Structure 1
Amino acid sequence: MNLKDVQRLLEADVLTGEDTLDREIRTAFACDLMSDVLTFESDKTILLTGLVNPHTIRTAEMIDINAIVFVRGKMPDVETLELAKENGITILVTRHILFASCGILYSNGLYGANIVHK
């Protein structure tokens, strides 16, 4: 699956990274607690969250996530979008809730990321 597929399936708007929609996505992780995001393997993973602030972008940057879907139609502020652009992170926004977004992606073959056990 690629980001264009995710955009289509979630009926999402692209806020940053329009030119990166051909990126491959292998897994998804959904969470609003950024400390939990740090506990999973992020190889070609998309993050789904309702937390729309710069902390989300900084967390994604730390573990090499290059795509985020903000759910429930939540719109990030200008600072958050600029930080995403600076870091090459694609931002999508869907009006679907987190649960439904995950279900849509799962039913179309995108599975959950693995937790790193320490």
Structure 2
Amino acid sequence: MEEGAMCMDLYNVQKLLQAKVLTGSELMHRQIESCCGSDMMSDVLAFTKRNTLLCTGLTNMQVVRTADMTELSALVFVRGKVPDADIVAAAAENNLPVLATDYTLFEACGILYGAGIRGCSKKE
């Protein structure tokens, strides 16, 4: 982990982002070590690592598939976007907590960065 970075549980993420939990409320104790903000799943595949939180405005099934492949900790949908029921159900089947916030992608990532969460600059 980057110097000065910290871990944070999803309860704190929810509080900081004033987010609604769409699924995975029983997994909110899960720790995140980094955050990735992207609508490009190819970047998520290239740059994320385990225990990463993905903030995105993309609300399709590819987000859940990518999160599963890269072992992300959770998803946060930004800009007030709420995925359809099929996407929420797929996330639940994969034990993937999903939150939604009204903040923009830039704001959500900035809030988390200000709280000590760092980004994913390269694969480990």
The TM-score with structure 1 as length reference comes to 0.95
Q: Kindly, what percent of the aligned residue pairs are identical?
A: 45
Pairing of 1:69-80 with structure 2 (within 5 A): 69-80=76-87
Partner of 1:14, secondary structure, is strand
Aligned-partner Cα distance in 1 for 2:83–2:51: 23
Structure 1 residue 40, shift from structure 2 partner: 1.6
CA contact (8 A) 2:78 2:105 kept: yes
Report the equivalent of 2:12.
5
Q: Indicate yes or no: 2:7 matched with 1:17.
A: no
SS in 1 for 2:76: strand
Unaligned runs of 5+ in 1: none
8 Å Cα contact 2:38/2:54 also seen in 1 = yes
Deviation at 1:53, TM superposition (A): 1.1
The answer as to whether partners of 1:48 and 1:98 remain within 8 angstroms in 2 is yes
**Equivalent-residue separation in structure 1 for 2:79 and 2:60 (angstroms):** 14
Does 2:70 correspond to 1:63? yes
Show the counterpart of 2:39: 32
Name the CA distance, whole Å, in 2 between partners of 1:27 and 1:116.
12
C-alpha RMSD of the superposition: 1.1
SS in 2 for 1:35: helix
Q: Distance in 1 between matches of 2:89 and 2:108?
A: 25
What's the CA shift for 1:43?
A: 2.0
For 1:48 and 1:92, how far apart are their aligned partners in 2?
9
Question: How many residues get paired?
Answer: 117
SS of residue paired to 2:32: coil
